[in-house]
């Protein structure tokens, strides 16, 4: 590895090691980043399920995406001054086919999703969960985990040939913990690695039977074509542009078939916007330039702009991150 990349690696590792293990364990798994309702995490799980079972569960996948939109809308609503009576008014309006509840506009994708469900349904439960006086209590775990329970039950009886999967920058098993809880992990030969030793310790503590290790995306300790598939979240924006190109080359080198890459800070402009914060980067990547780098190593690069995807498919135009993109890549 070149000396400049060794130095960048040391600085990046230092930037994460300064946090305690409890902070790292809870990072990127709460609120809108909760993988149970975060669209990019859901698309990653769907990516894995499709590689295992093809389009067998296509209808269920669409319903899970709808669930995510409903949950994210409700989370935004609960951050405003709202009481339990107003939530009940929303439910009454949905039951009556109305698009307005005491002055609160109900998005069309909420109404459409409600109409696809049989009564009683999770939207009824969500709008009825709050105590009479307040909505300040957190949404109960059993409601947040609605589709976790569904997938676990649906996949319990399924068998498939195991596929090998790599997750660079896995954090403290941020996404793996839900891949496990949803019943997908037993069908995978999974390897996760992270540059931060505290993250891998957290992951091993939670999942002692899974394979987690300390490794570097700039020089992955694996032979060419070792893994069938690879998925990555929120890595490339934190690297220098030169290091990012090396990391892209590395994840493509060790992957035989497909990759699913989540970006949290990307735009449709012609140039990368480089931003250095202390010992690491927080770049806004050019979609076109990043796609071109992957195309050097891949046969097909599908680009999904999360905001446009949800708007075109469901009429949802109020996603929390307008800069989120997911690439699905065929080597």
**Domain containing residue 280:** 3-31+146-330
pLDDT at 232 over 80: yes
Q: Please give the average per-residue pLDDT across 184-213, as a whole number.
A: 97
pLDDT at 174 over 70: yes
Tell me the per-residue pLDDT of 104-119, one tens digit each, with 9 for 90 and over.
Answer: 899 999 999 999 998 7
Q: Is the residue at 246 inside a domain?
A: yes
Q: In the prediction, which pLDDT does 135 show? A: 57
Q: Is the residue at 256 inside a domain?
A: yes
| CATH number, domain containing residue 323 | 3.40.50.150
pLDDT band at 297 (very low <50, low <70, confident <90, very high): very high
pLDDT at 22 over 80: yes
Q: How far is CA 327 from its chain centroid?
A: 12
Q: In the prediction, which pLDDT does 31 show? A: 81
pLDDT at 230 over 90: yes
pLDDT band at 128 (very low <50, low <70, confident <90, very high): confident
Q: Please give the average per-residue pLDDT across 269-289, as a whole number.
A: 94
Q: Is the residue at 89 inside a domain?
A: no
Read off the pTM.
0.94
Q: In the prediction, which pLDDT does 109 show? A: 96
Q: Please state the domain count of the chain.
A: 1
Query: At residue 9, what are phi and psi to the nearest 5 degrees?
Result: -60, -45
Long-range contacts formed by 102-111: CB under 8 A, 24+ apart? 104/77, 107/73, 107/315, 107/316, 107/318, 108/315, 109/66, 109/69, 109/314, 109/315, 109/316, 110/69, 110/70, 110/73
């Amino acid at each position: 590895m070149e000396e400049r990349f060794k130095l960048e690696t040391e600085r990046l590792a230092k930037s994460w090691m300064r946090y305690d293990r409890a902070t790292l364990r809870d990072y990127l798994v709460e609120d809108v980043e909760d993988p149970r309702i975060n669209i990019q995490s859901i698309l990653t799980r769907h990516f894995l399920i499709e590689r295992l079972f093809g389009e067998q569960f296509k209808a269920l996948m669409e319903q899970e995406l709808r669930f995510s939109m409903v949950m994210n809308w409700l989370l935004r609503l609960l951050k405003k001054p709202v009481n339990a009576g107003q939530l009940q008014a929303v439910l009454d309006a949905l039951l009556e086919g109305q698009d307005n509840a005491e002055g609160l506009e109900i998005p069309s994708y909420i109404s459409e999703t409600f109409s696809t469900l049989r009564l009683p349904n999770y939207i009824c439960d969500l709008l009825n969960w709050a105590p009479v006086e307040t909505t300040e209590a957190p949404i109960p775990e059993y409601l947040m985990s609605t589709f976790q329970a569904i997938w676990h039950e649906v996949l319990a009886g399924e068998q498939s040939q195991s596929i090998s999967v790599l997750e660079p920058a896995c954090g403290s098993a941020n996404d793996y913990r839900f891949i496990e809880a949803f019943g997908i992990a037993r069908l995978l030969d999974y390897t996760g690695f992270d540059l931060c030793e505290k993250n891998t310790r957290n992951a091993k503590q939670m999942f002692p039977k899974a394979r987690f290790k300390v490794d570097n995306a700039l020089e992955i300790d694996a032979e060419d074509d070792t893994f069938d598939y690879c998925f990555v979240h929120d890595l490339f924006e934190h690297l220098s542009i030169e290091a990012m190109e090396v990391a892209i080359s590395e994840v493509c080198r060790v992957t035989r078939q497909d990759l699913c890459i989540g970006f949290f800070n990307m735009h449709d402009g012609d140039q990368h916007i480089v931003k250095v914060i202390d010992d690491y980067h927080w770049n806004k990547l050019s979609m076109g330039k990043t796609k071109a780098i992957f195309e050097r190593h891949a046969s097909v690069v599908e680009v999904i702009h999360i905001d446009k995807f949800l708007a075109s498919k469901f009429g949802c135009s109020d996603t929390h991150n307008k800069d989120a993109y997911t690439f699905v890549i065929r080597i």
